[in-house]
A = this chain, B = another copy of it.
């Protein structure tokens, strides 16, 4: 109504006489009423006939009215009241609590149970030997300002799940973030980690990459600490005064080899049902090979101070009041870890509302319910938003709302250790999901701030409509407009220039780090991952302080963004459930993959230019001459020249894809007039499109990951690599593999194009 009132007030100010005003006011009201009706009810929604769009808009308004921050707050209080990690009493209690609520709201609900390997610590010891001995505390203290921080008996201690058992004593080396490039730097400095324990800073990669790369280089142990520059006092006041990690805070987390395969390491690719065939522990290839331990910076400080050797490169230095050296230390570190290698039950809650017209087309919504400790932000803030959506839809159902397609609401267990619950469920129901799953909508932690979303780019225009329909609670503009403004205000110059005047909400490609991975990257189901954040950020990730007390003060006070998330994800569910024709857009996919192909070609060219330059510098002895002779740095070895590769098959496939997607999208607007039968055929083609991007053989070195366009990086962990087989082949200088995968991608694109052509045949 804001726009209309303003229009009226402008009009009044221009019209002169009282009489004219009276006449005009009379007519104006009628006109305005009509206008209002027209604006409200003629709103177009992709995939809906005009009549159905009007009905849908009305239901969505009723849906919004049902959402209640106070409900979300009440559920959050219960769900975070005790530590609720896999295998804990509260984990089971939470699953039952959620299941009971879903049942109350009218859903066909069941708890599906799996049995997974979930190690917990038996022994944790770390000490610095030598002249200045020090024993690490390895404890997060109770804070009076944080009510649940004292639940010591129930808390999982600080540890890295799936670390190896071990008892190692060795010198220490500082490896920065612990990614491959850091070891190249160390090699230049003449520092070898073979037989040593490494200490790495959190950040710069997913944590599991750090011990994996350390082990590849021969290290016998890995310590990961939270540097205060990254999420402590270097970012802001520490907890409980501010939101940042205090000196004894440490980050728990998994170090399983997630980029190779998530899920139970004893049942890769198959569901870990009670009687499943399991690998022996020694054969479980996604377990970490060396002992790994997360520590706080107060525990890290004496270890870092024990390091000798060269001063760390400028970019490696953190926020502690010391000179960072790379080591090795002369004093040794002793470090002992032993775990209970137990099988624990997982409780996935699965709640269905069957579709009235298309019950075998499933729109799936998920968030995990397990936490590392009390887990308020991660994951309960997203879980309660999902619950509120389900409840609101239950209320709508009472008023006559009937979704065409089946809605499936899931609350996953065991996400934190390795996306266990979602992966086992997807592996269990793979065949049914391949048939029925239309899309998967994921959320996880949620905070005050800006909308971010990633996912399948076929859904980008559809999701843009959602971002323009939901209002930001702090400013009253749409969440898209606020996100646009946030990027322009907070972005760097390049980002600002790119963003200015382009109000398309961009979907990020998805790597990993939450439960969308098995849906998108194992099965090829179109996926969205949604959340708000950027203004409620702090440093309690995976610590005992990610509590209700913390979240209510800093994360999302009043859970206003909890409601906004429900509006966003709920609307996404409702539209996917009720669309006459599913809102997938192939032009958007074409543009995206075309841009990725350009990127990998540029990557290859840049790699070639850099290699040429580097080799030239080596040949001309520039390193010998330019380095400080007192530092005795090693000259890097010359690398193999980068060949030119043949991209023509992909380029030709892209031409065909463009032609098909152009044609399809021109015809798409007529789809809502098709017969119900033809619509059903078309819908099947639409939601099967994403599956054309998976390949049974999977990616090189990791067959579980089957999607050819989106994958988590082999050496980034959560960070995405698009066109992973080509991109990582270039990064790893495996030219033969790159050329082979160029051909594979060309075939994949062609298979995608054939599916579009089948759609065109129906539309014509």
Instruction: Point out residues on A near B: beta carbons under 8 Å.
Output: 228, 233-238, 242, 244, 311, 317, 319-323, 449, 474-475, 477, 481-482, 484-490, 496, 500, 535, 613, 616-617, 621-630
Contacts and interface: CB of A to CB of B under 8 A. Distances in A.
A631 B356 CA distance: 48
4 interchain residue pairs of minimum CB distance: A489-B626, A485-B626, A485-B625, A321-B321
The residue among A317, A474, A625 with the most chain B CB atoms within 10 A of its own CB is: A625
Contact of A323 (B236, B500, B621): B236
A489 B487 CA distance: 35
Given A233-B322, A321-B321, 5 more contacts: A228-B321, A242-B323, A485-B625, A489-B622, A490-B626
Contacts of A489: 617, 622-623, 626-627
B323 A233 contact: yes
Contacts of A616: 500
A622 B317 contact: no
B625 A481 contact: yes
Contacts of A475: 624-625, 629
Give the copy number. Answer: 2
Nearest to A482: B625
Given A477-B625, A489-B626, A613 B236 contact: no
A323 B237 contact: yes
A233 B323 CA distance: 5
Contacts of A629: 474-475
B626 A482 contact: yes
A302 to B, nearest CB: 15
Contacts of A320: 321
Contacts of A626: 482, 485-490
Nearest to A241: B323
18 contacts: A228-B321, A233-B321, A234-B323, A235-B311, A236-B323, A319-B319, A320-B321, A321-B321, A475-B625, A477-B625, A484-B622, A485-B621, A485-B623, A485-B626, A486-B625, A488-B622, A490-B626, A535-B628
A488 B484 CA distance: 40
A603 B17 CA distance: 54
A313 to B, nearest CB: 11
Given A481-B625, A482-B625, A488 B617 contact: yes
Contacts of A622: 484-485, 488-489
Contacts of A627: 489
A143 B630 CA distance: 26
The residue among A237, A485, A617 with the most chain B CB atoms within 10 A of its own CB is: A485
Nearest to A610: B493
A535 B630 contact: yes
Contact of A238 (B323, B488, B630): B323
A311 B474 CA distance: 22
A637 to B, nearest CB: 16
Contacts of A238: 323
B485 A236 contact: no
A448 to B, nearest CB: 8
A484 to B, nearest CB: 8
Contact of A311 (B236, B621, B624): B236
Contacts of A474: 629
Contacts of A613: 496, 500
Contacts of A449: 628
Given A242-B323, A323-B242, A622-B485, A237 B628 contact: no
The residue among A321, A482, A490 with the most chain B CB atoms within 10 A of its own CB is: A321
A322 B488 CA distance: 30
Contacts of A488: 617, 622, 626
A535 B628 CA distance: 7
A242 B322 CA distance: 12
A242 B324 CA distance: 13
The residue among A317, A322, A496, A628 with the most chain B CB atoms within 10 A of its own CB is: A628
A689 B317 CA distance: 49
A235 B625 CA distance: 23
The residue among A237, A319, A500 with the most chain B CB atoms within 10 A of its own CB is: A319
Contacts of A623: 485, 489
A627 B477 CA distance: 13
Nearest to A621: B485
A267 to B, nearest CB: 45
A233 B319 CA distance: 11
Given A482-B625, A625-B481, A317 B234 contact: yes
A102 B535 CA distance: 68
A68 to B, nearest CB: 23
A311 B485 contact: no
A407 B482 CA distance: 69
A235 B312 CA distance: 9
Contacts of A487: 626
A621 B482 CA distance: 11
Contacts of A490: 626
Contacts of A481: 625
Nearest to A477: B625
A506 to B, nearest CB: 16
A534 to B, nearest CB: 8
A322 B242 CA distance: 12
A545 B416 CA distance: 54
Contacts of A234: 317, 323
Nearest to A630: B535
A535 B627 CA distance: 9
A554 to B, nearest CB: 11
